[in-house]
Amino acid sequence: MSKTILIGCIADDFTGASDAASFLVKGGLRTILFNGVPKQDLDVDCDAAVIALKTRSCARETAVADSLEAVDWLKAHGTRQFYSKYCSTFDSTPKGNIGPILDAVLEKLGQRCTVLCPALPVNKRTVKDGILYVNGVPLGESPMKNHPLNPMWDSDLAVLMKPQSKYPCIKVSAELMQQGKAAVQKYLEEHMRGREHYYIIPDYYEDAHAELIAELFGDLTLLSGGSGILTALGIRALGRTEKQRMIPTATSGRGIVIAGSCSVATRGQIEEFRKNGGFLYKMDPLKLIDGTESAETIWAEVGEKDAFLIYSSDTPEEVDRVHAAVGEKASEYLEKTSARLAVLARHAGFNRIIIAGGETSGAVTQALGYNAYWIGESIAAGVPVMAPLEHPDVRLVLKSGNFGQPDFFLRALKMTSGEEL
């Protein structure tokens, strides 16, 4: 590994990690993504390292312990600045893990404060006066309030943090930030005097605010948020703006899309794939559970086609109906089947694998056994093409459920094959 890692990022799931990595690459940093804390050193040279954990919905004690293990690894490899990456919709319950993780990392690094900056304006996630908006709607009033694992029950970041964290939050407006660093520091000292630790919630509702936040708070050893400010932080850390050489986007071989997300965006992308004549197969969780359907029977139906989409995405009503019938078994079987299908695809010579959904992506990458990736060009904001270090001819695209254009799946298959869009 590099003697110095300029930015070390710890992400709460795999798609969030690839999202963060893509923004670091955009800032010019040679970026490598690890699936979990590396167990051994690799002979690679990079400017940024991103460690993907599974801490979004796991037990609090596990989330904190895993995050601190990642901090220790990054510290041991000379990391200058740390970044805790979580979802741009701050998906968390009153007993969520964002607060406990940040409290522990602040204390571990001996830092007094950090920023909470989940906004990503390019994907219509913005923060104004401490309120997080999704497509212009306060988070707690958006469709995200019905998230099956992490319902978004409020829109005020300070309110969301209060039951999770031991430390207070302070909001910093765009108007104050535009007055410069001295004015901001004076304001913080006046309001946070005597506080051992605290969190800063800056306004971030315009793309230009990313550079302003990086300028004002870029000296902090620890920052946190979505991927929105990582490009500006990368440029600042690197000290130059030219892009580094990236892996080629295209490769040979057939392509497969596996979609497990039930988000509105992913369901729309599936429908767009259908409208354009793509072949689709829908997994049935009840049939998977009773044994009348399996990864092998599905593959027998689709495996000879050049490019196709297999999905389990469904409406909230149908998800509720299945959950009422079989509980958590549905998700378990769908994730295992998706992972097995990806393995079957690789055995059949498929080199282009596109996955939608954080849990599905985690299951697939674990089954494929890839542990480290170079990060390349993005198909959409926050969704890069990745090449496993162990298999440089493979191209993986892992999409968070809410990300991507309506024609995302078609675009991903074309770009990874070298076709013109």
Note whether residue 247 is domain-resident.
no
Instruction: For residue 406, give the CATH number of its domain.
Output: 3.40.980.20
Same domain, 222 and 304: no
Kindly tell me if the per-residue pLDDT of 291 is higher than 80: yes
Note whether residue 250 is domain-resident.
no
Q: Select from 238, 263, 279 the last residue of a domain.
A: 238
Over residues 136-147, mean pLDDT: 80
Tell me: the pLDDT tens digits for 374-405?
Answer: 999 999 988 999 999 989 999 999 998 888 99
pLDDT score at 246 = 78
Q: Select from 210, 238, 266 the last residue of a domain.
A: 238
pLDDT score at 92 = 66
Task: Look up the domain containing 10 and give its range.
Answer: 5-238
pLDDT score at 88 = 81
Same domain, 283 and 397: yes
Average pLDDT of every residue of the chain: 92
Over residues 13-37, mean pLDDT: 92
Over residues 278-291, mean pLDDT: 96
Residue 57 binned pLDDT confidence (cut-offs 50, 70, 90): confident
Note whether residue 289 is domain-resident.
yes
Angle between helix 316-326 and helix 329-347 axes, rounded to 10 deg: 110
Number of domains in the chain: 2
Note whether residue 37 is domain-resident.
yes
3-state per-residue secondary structure call for the chain: CCCCEEEEEEECCHHHHHHHHHHHHHCCCCEEEEECCCCCCCCCCCCEEEEECCCCCCCHHHHHHHHHHHHHHHHHCCEEEEEEECCCCCCCCCCCCHHHHHHHHHHHHCCCEEEEECCEHHHCEEEECCEEEECCEEHHHCHHHHCCCCCCCCCEHHHHHCCCCCCCEEEECHHHHCCCHHHHHHHHHHHHCCCCCEEEEECECCCCHHHHHHHHHCCCCEEEECCCCHHHHHHHHHCCCCCCCCCCCCCCCCEEEEECCCCHHHHHHHHHHHHCCCEEEECCHHHHHHCCCCHHHHHHHHCCCCEEEEECCCCHHHHHHHHHHHCCHHHHHHHHHHHHHHHHHHHCCCCEEEEECHHHHHHHHHHHCCCEEEEEEEEECCEEEEEECCCCCCEEEEECCCCCCCCHHHHHHHHHHCCCC
Note whether residue 304 is domain-resident.
yes
Note whether residue 274 is domain-resident.
yes
Instruction: For residue 17, give the CATH number of its domain.
Output: 3.40.50.10840
Same domain, 172 and 262: no
Same domain, 225 and 315: no
Note whether residue 243 is domain-resident.
no
pLDDT score at 44 = 78
More confident of the two residues 231 and 420: 231
Q: Which of 245-249, 302-306, 348-352 has the highest mean pLDDT?
A: 348-352
Note whether residue 244 is domain-resident.
no
pLDDT score at 180 = 97
Tell me phi and psi for residue 413, to 5 degrees.
Answer: -65, -40
Same domain, 303 and 363: yes
Sort strands 395-399 and 383-388 into parallel, antiparallel or unpaired. antiparallel
Kindly tell me if the per-residue pLDDT of 198 is higher than 70: yes
Kindly tell me if the per-residue pLDDT of 283 is higher than 80: yes
Same domain, 305 and 413: yes
Same domain, 269 and 399: yes
Same domain, 278 and 351: yes
Residue 420 binned pLDDT confidence (cut-offs 50, 70, 90): confident
Q: Select from 238, 273, 300 the last residue of a domain.
A: 238
Sort strands 137-138 and 169-172 into parallel, antiparallel or unpaired. unpaired
Residue 303: strand pairing partners: none
Residue 83 binned pLDDT confidence (cut-offs 50, 70, 90): very high
Tell me: the pLDDT tens digits for 88-117?
Answer: 878 667 788 999 999 999 999 999 999 999
Over residues 313-334, mean pLDDT: 92
Same domain, 263 and 196: no
Same domain, 174 and 296: no
pTM: 0.85
Same domain, 358 and 281: yes
Same domain, 186 and 149: yes
The amino acid at 19: D
Kindly tell me if the per-residue pLDDT of 260 is higher than 70: yes
Residue 170 binned pLDDT confidence (cut-offs 50, 70, 90): very high
